[in-house]
Amino acid sequence: MTLRFSKMHGSGNDFVVIDSRDGALALNPSLVRAMADRHTGVGFDQLLSVEPARDGVSAFYYGIWNADGSPSGQCGNGVRCVAAWLHRAGALNIGDTVQIQSPSGPVAVRLVDAHRVTVDMGEPIFDPPRIPFNAPHAADRYTMDVDGQALEIGAVSMGNPHAVVTVDEMTAPELSRLGPALTGHARFGEGSNAGFVQIVTPRHVRLRVHERGAGWTLACGTGACAAVAVLRQRGEVDAQVQVDLPGGSLQIDWQGPGERLWMTGPATFVFEGEWLDRRRGD
């Protein structure tokens, strides 16, 4: 089997994008893992498949597969890359706003220019059962035992579950241990993306994210949204925040509860290629 693909990234969070608009492609976890291998495959954090809309309203649907072959519900950096890919394919014009369906529901995207996209990420969800997170009621802060250490976290869903921890130092060595432990913590029924955020000013934060199914990534769009949502809910940041991640910066705009959250950031093409599947037994 030969698959044509585009390699892209959003602030260093890298993707393979596959054209499935004719609905003919059947992906499976084994294929995704093979392509994701950074030594023997293409290498990526997530694979994105652009498909026909399934809701009868959106312009397109996009599927999300993590590098370990597991499905994902939402990907903020990924949807920006999908929008830029659609523009390159002639299906979206600069200045257009269209609705694209994700596994977690529809999102609106606006192409600022060929390489920069604004995304309506919806309203953050703090209700524990909807995250899902095991807690008796919603709160700004929860205290958890994570690998033998008491951590204060915020919990929120941006179409996928997030745990947000405020830190004083982004390079603290314990983060390399706490990230995976928090991602797999039993109180998050479907796992979580673990974000460690440092407040520089009320309009500027730094962030590192350990993503479920992908590990530490250079950027996480929904993670940036989640961090700002948690901090904004607590009154610790302003309505417009620059989020610096290892791979680049994103702008997050959120007025607060009852309002929709917007993310703006880059989408970059790296190369085009063909994947020739030589695996045996698949």
46 is in an annotated binding site: yes
Q: Pick the catalytic residue: 34, 75, 92, 165?
A: 75
| C-alpha separations of 96 from 65, 84, 254, 268 in Å | 27, 11, 22, 18
Q: How far is Cα 182 from Cα 24, in angstroms, rounded to an integer?
A: 38
> Any catalytic annotation for residue 225?
no
Structure-token pair, residue 8: 């892209």
Look up residue 196 and give its two tokens.
Answer: 């460690």
Q: Which two tokens stand for residue 243?
A: 């989020």
User: Is 56 annotated among the ligand-binding residues?
Assistant: no
Burial 235-254 (b: 16+ CB within 10 A, else e): eebeeebbbbbbbbbbebbb
Q: Which residue has the tokens 């597991």?
A: 70
DSSP β-ladder status, 215-217 and 97-102: unpaired
- The answer to whether the annotation marks 264 as part of a ligand binding site is no
13 annotated binding-site participant: yes
Q: What is the dihedral of CA 267, 201, 122, 215, to 10 degrees?
A: 60
Tokens (6 digits) for 11: 């602030």
Q: Please state, in angstroms and rounded to a whole number, the distance separating the CA atoms of residues 162 and 104.
A: 14
193 is in an annotated binding site: yes
Does the annotation list 247 as a binding residue?
Answer: no
Which residue in the block uniquely carries the two structure tokens 């390159």?
88
Q: Tell me whether residue 134 is annotated as binding.
A: no
Listing DSSP states for 197-223 in one string gives EEEEETTEEEEEEEETTTEEES--HHH
Written as six digits, the tokens of 183 are 């991602």
Any known ligand binding at 76?
yes
Residues 6+ apart with CB under 8 A from 244: 204, 205, 206, 207
Catalytic entry in 194, 197, 220, 250:
220
Is 21 annotated among the ligand-binding residues?
no
Annotated binding site: 13, 46, 66, 76-77, 160, 193, 211-212, 221-222
Catalytic residues: 75, 220
Annotated binding site for substrate: 13, 46, 66, 76-77, 160, 193, 211-212, 221-222
